[in-house]
Amino acid sequence: MRDRIAAASAGRSGPLPRLIAVSKTKPVDMIEAALAAGQNDFGENRVQEASVKFPLLKRRYPQMKLHLIGPLQTNKLRQAMALFDYIHTLDREKLARAIATEQAAGQAVPALLIQVNTGEEPQKSGVWPGQADAFITLCRNDLNLPIRGLMCIPPAAEEPSPHFALLAKIAARHGLAQLSMGMSGDYEIAAAFGATMLRVGSAIFGERQIDPVTI
């Protein structure tokens, strides 16, 4: 997979995209095998599940980084801030203000990415493209949050490249470096469109029995 990522990234400048192994629903022994093989970034979409699986692994493998890629409820915020190194799913003002309140109280804030609902799908999380500029400005300038980039999940039935291109364009006009886009079915396309973080689950760990793909 790393060879395919490198090939798909040919012609880009800068480092290769970072591979985030999405381990939701997968047991700790599979995660530990990946850690032993040198994989250091892991993604989970539920705070509850991650807080069962990862605290011990984080002590045993202090170099590992944990990424929250699913929706975050404000009542789980403190738990999430203590466990995750990155939150990819900052998607609304209420959550942004709650993180800012924790930050003002002296809590360390994970690196944040804003989720953009590029397909404007009503059932999916994320700010719509037309609101993205204002939301990014609110988060950075008014709330002083550590916004590192943007994340998207294109509509399942569509060609993903226009969505990846749109996300890259919004990030570029705000000087945001991180682009979290691309999953098992489209990570090579995402890499070609400038992804810096690929969220790949089933292509690494195998198909999931239950499939809580984030909406």
Ligand X SMILES: *Cc1c(COP(=O)(O)O)cnc(C)c1O
Which of 40/184 has CB closer to ligand X?
184
Which of 49/102 has CB closer to ligand X?
49
Residue with tokens 């493209």: 129
Which of 3/106 has CB closer to ligand X?
3
- 34 with 21: CB under 8 angstroms? yes
Which of 18/97 has CB closer to ligand X?
18
C-alpha distances out from residue 37 to 14, 64, 135, 171, 200, Å: 25, 12, 39, 33, 16
Q: Which residue is nearest to ligand X (CB)?
A: 201
- CB crowding 169-180: b at 16 or more within 10 Å, else e: ebbeeeebebbb
Q: How far is the CB of 16 from ligand X (least distance, A)?
A: 18
For ligand X, the binding residues (CB under 6 A) are 22, 24, 45, 69-70, 153, 183-185, 199-203, 213-214
- 164 with 102: CB under 8 angstroms? no
